[in-house]
Structure 1
Amino acid sequence: MGLVSTPAVVLSTLRYSETSKIVRLATREHGVQSVIAKGALRPRSRFGASLQLLSEGQAHFVLKENRELHLLTSFDVRRLHAGLAADLERYAVACALAEVMLRFAPPDPHPESFDLLRQALEELELASVALVEALGYRLLWRMVSVLGFEPSLDGCVIDGTPLPEAGPLPFSTREGGALCPACASQHGATQLPEQARADLVALMDSSAELPTFDEKHGAAHRRLLGRYVRYHLGEGAELPALEFWSQRPWMAA
């Protein structure tokens, strides 16, 4: 295809040699791509400090068909998202989102996930401290959904049986959502208490007010979300950023 120019977000970087690094980019027009930034580690590199994790800008690279690594010629940084790096919880959520995008977004155009990632980074940077935890849950569920694994909550994911609007909810990570009592008895399910169900429904609705979580219920929700991501997207892969966010070690500091 030759030289392309596309909006991009830096998902990861890896030292390749004394002077160069490999960069994984989420791009709007070309999906997730690997590029090599030659000379990026030199003191007077033309890339400067632009290729930092979560940097957002316009990437220019030579895209060659049937190649896994492309040549990055320049990266015009638009936003460094410095506000994320200044707060560990915001940064942990952002890194978990980037990891999910890196591991599971396709190497083909997928503007929905790219646009969500950009919006998520901005929302995380601007959110008040009190909202960051719940916002992180919502953004991760939205990314999972955009990538094609949205959990079913309105009806039984197996047979479509309508479910009561209130009360506890049988939920199966393996099946991908809520189950009716009959299917729950056959396939097994986690019983979400009524409040946990209401919280999950609110998190899945971007127009709804964010719920609040105490330590116990927040930990339970992180376990649920972590299991769901690992089962449907993980395929046995290690997800260190998601694990770090789940454990929230900064709370014990």
Structure 2
Amino acid sequence: MPLLVTDAIVLHAAPYLESSRILRLATRDAGVQSVVARGARSSKKRFGSAVDLFAEGQAQIQLKPGRDLHSLHGFDVTVSRPALALDLGRFTAASAMAECALRLVHEEAAPAVYGALVRGLDQLAAAAPDRTAAVTLGALWQLVGEVGFRPALEHCAECHAEIRADAEVRFHHRVGGALCERCSRLLPGGRRLPPSAMEALRAWLGDADLEVGLDDGETRAHQRLLREFLAQHLPDPRPLKAWLVWEQGAW
């Protein structure tokens, strides 16, 4: 059985039997993997903070061909991100980000996707409370883009005509982005987006470090837009529970 040594982030943890935990890890070299950390609940000596949510480090995973659950032999933590646990807004946002990553990322190497996730969690951990939502939305759009679901913004998603930067457009989830005026008349559905909303989307998808300012109404509208876009493109139809807690501020 091969031993995989790779950078990894803990996205989910659950108890297993009396003394162990099952972890869902996002890895740089093998996508999302499910592993069992034996003895992690009875002793901190072997794994320490490695079983904490959003911890990042180097994981040693004993892969079992043909199995969905592998063995975690060790996890050397390099970044623990305690700031995410100190604020409910950050924690629920990070949980929504982790939930999306678990739905979007498969069991295959995707360094750019892993990098987008790392960058997003780091930005969120450092964000001021009033910047949490905008930072999370930007990180999630970056993740969506790296996975391969980047929406069309500069050109019509249907006919590929150029979209003016100052135009109000219809954003169509099923087609995959903005529509020109002609195509928006031919295709029902979607949401009308003002130029300011399109500018925010272009900024998030073009520069991960660019700050975007949103008021409460704009934040809710962008959360709804991204949730609807994910619902159209995710293969798993189950509701995003952590996302809904974050979107509704239900804490």
Aligned to 2:20: 20
Q: What SS does the corresponding residue of 1:199 show, helix, strand or coil?
A: helix
Q: Percent identity between the aligned chains?
A: 36
Matched AA of 2:50: S
* 1:23 Cα deviation from its structure 2 partner: 0.8
| 2:31 is equivalent to residue 2 of structure 1 | no
Cα displacement string for residues 161-206 of structure 1 (whole angstroms, at most 9, x for unaligned residues): 1122212111101111011122111212311122222222222221
Aligned to 2:246: 245
| 2:143 is equivalent to residue 143 of structure 1 | yes
| 2:112 is equivalent to residue 103 of structure 1 | no
Are the counterparts in 2 of residues 202 and 208 from structure 1 also a CA contact under 8 Å? Answer: no
Q: RMSD across aligned C-alpha pairs, in angstroms?
A: 1.7
Q: In the aligned structure 1, how far is the partner of 2:208 from the partner of 2:9?
A: 26
Relative distance call for 1:124 and 1:207 in structure 2 (3 A) is closer
* 1:44 Cα deviation from its structure 2 partner: 5.2
Q: How does 1:180-191 map to 2 (within 5 A)?
A: 180-188=180-188, 189-191=190-192
Q: How does 1:42-191 map to 2 (within 5 A)?
A: 42-43=42-43, 45-188=45-188, 189-191=190-192
* 1:86 Cα deviation from its structure 2 partner: 0.9
Question: Which deviates the most, 96-105 or 138-147?
Answer: 96-105
Are the counterparts in 1 of residues 24 and 32 from structure 2 also a CA contact under 8 Å? Answer: yes
* 1:88 Cα deviation from its structure 2 partner: 1.6
Question: Which deviates the most, 114-123 or 203-212?
Answer: 203-212
Q: In the aligned structure 1, how far is the partner of 2:23 from the partner of 2:86?
A: 23
Matched AA of 2:249: R
* 1:43 Cα deviation from its structure 2 partner: 3.7
Query: How many pairs were matched up?
Result: 250
Cα displacement string for residues 94-137 of structure 1 (whole angstroms, at most 9, x for unaligned residues): 11111111122010111111111111111111233343221111
Q: What SS does the corresponding residue of 1:203 show, helix, strand or coil?
A: helix
* 1:210 Cα deviation from its structure 2 partner: 2.3
* 1:81 Cα deviation from its structure 2 partner: 0.5
Relative distance call for 1:180 and 1:77 in structure 2 (3 A) is same
Are the counterparts in 2 of residues 226 and 246 from structure 1 also a CA contact under 8 Å? Answer: no
Cα displacement string for residues 60-118 of structure 1 (whole angstroms, at most 9, x for unaligned residues): 12112221111111111112100111122222221111111112201011111111111
Q: In the aligned structure 2, how far is the partner of 1:44 from the partner of 1:134?
A: 36
Relative distance call for 1:220 and 1:44 in structure 2 (3 A) is closer
Q: In the aligned structure 1, how far is the partner of 2:37 from the partner of 2:209?
A: 42
Relative distance call for 1:102 and 1:207 in structure 2 (3 A) is closer
Q: 4+ residue stretches of structure 1 with deviation over 6 A? A: none
5+ residue gaps, structure 1: none
5+ residue gaps, structure 2: none
* 1:59 Cα deviation from its structure 2 partner: 0.7
Q: In the aligned structure 2, how far is the partner of 1:64 from the partner of 1:156?
A: 45
Are the counterparts in 1 of residues 103 and 236 from structure 2 also a CA contact under 8 Å? Answer: no
Matched AA of 2:242: A
Q: In the aligned structure 1, how far is the partner of 2:209 from the partner of 2:54?
A: 27
Q: In the aligned structure 1, how far is the partner of 2:198 from the partner of 2:77?
A: 41
Q: What SS does the corresponding residue of 2:68 show, helix, strand or coil?
A: coil
Q: In the aligned structure 1, how far is the partner of 2:31 from the partner of 2:11?
A: 12
Q: In the aligned structure 1, how far is the partner of 2:202 from the partner of 2:30?
A: 32
* 1:208 Cα deviation from its structure 2 partner: 7.3
